[in-house]
């Protein structure tokens, strides 16, 4: 009988920029059980609705996570706008969509880089992050911030983009798309990369549904579901096709995210082509009275925002269910039976965002 041992993984670990702790139960080199413990980045910011009024809270919502910042601001604002029956101008919806899609590009490029780094493929890591800088430069030009943008507000957006900025975005994504080609080739067709990704960490379609996987994780297991199909923002006018992969292994998750990058390029182009003229925000009067659930598709999957107000300046409750929270149970399932050496890579393939999860 193989000897059982428990290896602690984290909280401070080279592969993770953020702290998360796992106890890995091993039989020789094979993982047989995983006990996750979280809470290292818990700040308690849902409770901050007591101290910030509902307009100020947009800034806090944007700081739930630095990678999906724009999406968190959008989700929160959508929920408040629904409660208060505010009709956001069409131009604002398009601007929000462009920024959120740019966030997806930057998040997926970041993930590809981290994946390459976890495999020890340093040059591929650097190349992905080099391309990501072009998107950050566009954020810098259009919003004034590289990471935290603070463009969403209840009733619209704070900043407009002129035609020169929109053109620059088009040039930047053309440039990235052209330079992406060798990276795509390496990630999807290189022998070394395939040997680390193919057939590793398989999550079957039934398991993905039963364990509640979301986002690229769910789509990589062959389920056609994308919250962008709900048509929030400008997505109702744009063509969104869920991108799926059949195998459910690490390679499938890489493939889905890679293809989503190109989908985002197309969505940005389409949105810039269709963007209408007009106002970018409407004045907001009164306080939210009621409750609402909003679902949006973040780069990591579906996020759910719940807002409850009772006619006061301060909200009663704000609640968020983040994509990584839903992806932890499938990850635990996926890790069972894998080799110890594959653990860091497999944790990375769910694209964990711990600061979202723990808030």
Partner 1 sequence: MGKVSKSPWLLHYDASSCNGCDIEVLDCLTPKYDIERFGIINTGDPFQADIFLITGGVNSQTESVVKQIYSQMPEPKVVVAVGICACTGGVFKECYNIKGGIDTVIPVDVYVPGCAARPEAIIDGVVKALKVLDAKQAALEAKGR
Please report, as ranges, the residues that interact with partner 1 according to CB under 8 A.
11-14, 17-19, 39-45, 47-48, 51, 59-60, 63-67, 69, 110, 113, 125-126, 129-130, 133, 136, 145-148, 353-355
Choose between 172 and 240: whose C-beta lies nearer to partner 1: 172
Choose between 135 and 203: whose C-beta lies nearer to partner 1: 135
Report whether the peptide linkage leading into residue 11 is cis, meaning its omega lies within 30 degrees of zero. Answer: yes
- Measured distance CA(155)–CA(142) in Å, rounded: 19
Which residues lie closer than 8 Å to 227 by C-beta, 6 or more apart?
295, 296, 297, 302
- Measured distance CA(121)–CA(117) in Å, rounded: 6
CB of 122 to partner 1, least distance (A): 11
CB of 106 to partner 1, least distance (A): 9
Backbone phi, psi, residue 60, to 5°: -70, -45
- Measured distance CA(91)–CA(75) in Å, rounded: 17
Which residues lie closer than 8 Å to 150 by C-beta, 6 or more apart?
58, 59, 62, 73, 143, 158
What string of DSSP letters covers 149-176? ---EETTEES----HHHHHHHHHHHHHH
Choose between 109 and 254: whose C-beta lies nearer to partner 1: 109
Picking from 24, 344, 26, 338, the residue whose alpha carbon sits closest to that of residue 199 is 338
CB of 239 to partner 1, least distance (A): 30
Choose between 32 and 48: whose C-beta lies nearer to partner 1: 48
- Measured distance CA(193)–CA(175) in Å, rounded: 25
Choose between 19 and 222: whose C-beta lies nearer to partner 1: 19
CB of 154 to partner 1, least distance (A): 18
- Measured distance CA(99)–CA(143) in Å, rounded: 9
Choose between 133 and 177: whose C-beta lies nearer to partner 1: 133
CB of 62 to partner 1, least distance (A): 9
CB of 67 to partner 1, least distance (A): 6
Asked whether the beta carbons of 23 and 342 are under 8 A apart, the reply is no
> What is the DSSP-derived secondary structure letter of residue 238?
S
Asked whether the beta carbons of 339 and 7 are under 8 A apart, the reply is no
| Cα R_g (the chain), whole angstroms | 21
Which sign, positive or negative, has the C-alpha torsion 309, 315, 319, 320? Answer: positive
Number of continuous H segments (helices) and E segments (strands) in the chain? 12, 8
Choose between 107 and 211: whose C-beta lies nearer to partner 1: 107
Choose between 220 and 320: whose C-beta lies nearer to partner 1: 320
CB of 105 to partner 1, least distance (A): 14
CB of 10 to partner 1, least distance (A): 10
Choose between 4 and 42: whose C-beta lies nearer to partner 1: 42
CB of 53 to partner 1, least distance (A): 13
């Amino acid at each position: 009988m193989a000897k059982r041992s428990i290896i602690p993984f984290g909280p401070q670990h080279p592969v993770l920029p953020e702290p998360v702790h796992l106890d890995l139960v091993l039989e020789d080199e094979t993982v047989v059980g995983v006990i996750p413990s979280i809470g290292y980045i818990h700040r308690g910011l849902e409770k901050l609705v007591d101290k910030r009024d509902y307009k100020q809270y947009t800034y806090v919502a944007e700081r739930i996570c630095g990678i999906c910042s724009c999406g968190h601001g959008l989700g929160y604002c959508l929920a408040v706008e629904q409660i208060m029956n505010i009709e956001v101008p069409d131009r604002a919806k398009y601007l929000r969509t462009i920024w959120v899609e740019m966030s997806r590009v930057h998040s997926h490029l970041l993930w590809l880089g981290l994946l390459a780094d976890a495999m020890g493929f340093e040059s591929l890591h650097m190349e992905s992050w080099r391309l990501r800088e072009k998107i950050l430069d566009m954020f810098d030009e259009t919003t004034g911030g590289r990471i935290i943008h603070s463009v969403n507000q209840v009733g619209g957006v704070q900043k407009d983009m002129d035609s020169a900025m929109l053109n620059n975005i088009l040039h930047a994504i053309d440039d990235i798309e052209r330079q992406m080609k060798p990276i795509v080739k390496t990630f999807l067709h290189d022998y070394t990369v395939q040997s680390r990704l193919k057939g590793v960490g398989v999550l079957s379609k039934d398991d993905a549904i039963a364990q509640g996987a979301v986002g690229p994780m769910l789509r990589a297991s062959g389920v056609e579901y994308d919250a962008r199909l709900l048509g929030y923002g400008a997505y109702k006018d744009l063509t969104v096709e869920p991108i799926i992969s059949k195998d459910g292994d690490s390679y499938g998750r890489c493939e889905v995210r890679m293809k989503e990058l190109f989908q985002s390029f197309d969505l940005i182009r389409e949105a810039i082509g269709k963007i209408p003229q007009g106002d970018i925000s409407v004045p907001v009067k009164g306080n939210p009275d009621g409750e609402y659930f909003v679902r949006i598709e973040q780069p990591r999957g579906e996020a759910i925002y719940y807002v409850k107000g009772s006619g006061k300046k301060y909200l009663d409750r704000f609640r968020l269910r983040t994509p990584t929270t839903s992806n932890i149970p499938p990850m635990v399932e996926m890790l069972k039976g894998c080799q110890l050496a594959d653990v860091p890579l497999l944790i990375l393939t769910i694209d964990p965002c711990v600061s979202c999860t723990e808030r």
